[in-house]
Structures are given as C-alpha cells and as structure tokens.
Structure 1
C-alpha cells in the first residue's frame, strides 16, 4: 500500500508555507468513496495521495492535482482534440498538458495528453512514481536539479 511520508517531508523542505499557490485540500473518506463510485478503477496510490497530500498545486504551481477527474469535454476541448472516451485526467502542468488514467487499459499507470500534438503518451509509471517526478524528487527524497 502506498505511503506518502517521503513526499510530504520533501514538500515541507522545498515549498514556501506562506505561498497560497501551495495550498492543498485533503479529501475525506466520503469524498474518496464518491470518487470510487464514479470511477471504480482508480488506482489506490492516487486515492492515498488525495488523502495524505491532497488536491491542489505543489511547488509554486509546478503541477496541479484536481479533486476530481475530468476529460476534454469538461474543459470544452473535445471539438479540438479527439481522444478515447475512457481517458480521465487528474491534473495538469500549467502548460496545457494533462495527466490521467486510461481506464480501458486499467493498469494504474499514468497517461499524458500533450496539447501541441493532441496525442496520448503512455508513461508506464504508476501514479506515485509519476508524481515524484512532477515534484522534481528522486526515489530517495532528494531534489532533482
């Protein structure tokens, strides 16, 4: 079972606590239950992240995690891009690219949508490994420069 102790300690070291851009909301059990009712294939490491670190941005808008999943239609982009219907996003990099899951594959690995090409890129990384990269953190809790 995933645990985000290393990531929480890392964010305490690298983030400015007074910067509102680093505020996150921890999801409660009812919110997680509602997410699972709507998206039963959600990976456990993603759900644990929402309960331990929470939704919102980290590292002064390095990356943003939404409190719920969304798709291109939710963003009004479905007329510009065509994607498989079972790809749902959990976050973005503030540069127009989105990260999520392909529930047709149901492997728990993260997929990225690159807006410039309109293509999906399969990272072959589970959520926890992927989010560490977005935090610019290595597997030992050290900053990647």
Structure 2
C-alpha cells in the first residue's frame, strides 16, 4: 500500500486524526479522466476527514470551487477558478485542490485575498500528504 507510513501515524495518534476510507462504490464515483492515482489511492487507503484535530480537512471527493466559496466566487474576475477541483481545506477558510488544466497541479485558494490562486511547492498529491503527516510524527 502506498500510504502505510501515514496509516501508521494515524494509528499512533488516533485521537488527533479522524479519517475514514471510502468504499469502492463511493470511490468509483470520484474517478474522472486525468485524476491523479495517488489521490484515489489516498481516498481508498486513508480516506477523508480531519488531520491533527483541525489542521486540515480532506473532503470525501472533489468539490468545485463555487460549492465552497459561492459568496466570493466570480468567474468574470477569476475564470480560472472553474478549472480547480478542491480536495480539502486548512480549516481556516483556504481551499486546496487540483488545477485540472495544469497537469492536475496542486494549488491553494486564499479566501481573504479575493480567491487568489497560489501554487504549492509539492509536485504530487502524495508529496503533499506525506509532508503534512510528517509534521505530526
């Protein structure tokens, strides 16, 4: 399994992490063309929920930006927001997801900066989650 180290971290700190894996039926609904395999593997092996109490929240599937930021969402001002699918947020209002038109690169959307799109340093979803969980081991 790809995420054994993360699962071990969760087992060591069960009160800090509240994650539940998706069933195969639920997982099939999330598979779209181009979606990174490491993301699907994460949903299958680790799941969705919160990391380190309220450090980060993984959604149970990809969410369009307007579902989270509907009151701030303006496609005239930021048309590229249509190309982002969110997989979670930092529990402070900033979304994190994939920019589907840029090889599914990982970006953050800052809610207090007119929904500016900011690239993450991580090149893959796996790198993103590994870096996150390393903070809590």
TM-score range, shorter chain: 0.7 to 0.9
The equivalent residue for 1:78 is: 70
Q: Equivalents in 2 of 1:133, 1:63: separation in Å?
A: 12
3-state secondary structure, aligned to 2:35: coil
* Structure 1: stretches of 5+ with no match in the other structure: none
User: Matches of 2:91 and 2:10 in 1, distance apart?
Assistant: 19
The 10-residue stretch of structure 1 (96-105 or 123-132) with the greater mean CA deviation from structure 2: 123-132
The structure carrying a bigger helix percent of its residues is 2
The equivalent residue for 1:35 is 30
Which stretches of structure 1, 4 residues or more, deviate above 6 A after TM superposition? none
Q: Deviations for 1:33-83, whole angstroms, at most 9, x for unmatched residues?
A: 1111xx3221100100011111111211211110111123212x2342434
From 34, 39, 43, the equivalent of 1:46 is 39
Q: CA RMSD in A?
A: 2.0
Q: How far apart in 2 are the matches of 1:98 and 1:132?
A: 18
Q: TM-score, normalized by length of structure 2?
A: 0.83
In the alignment, the residues of structure 2 paired with residue 51 and residue 80 of structure 1 have an alpha-carbon distance, to the nearest angstrom, of 32
Structure 2 runs not aligned, ≥5 long: none
String of CA shifts for 1:88-125, please: whole Å, max 9, x gaps: 100011011111001111x2331111112121111142
Number of equivalences: 130
Report the Cα distance in structure 1 between the residues aligned to 2:63 and 2:89, rounded to whole angstroms.
11
**Residue 60 of structure 1: aligned partner:** 53
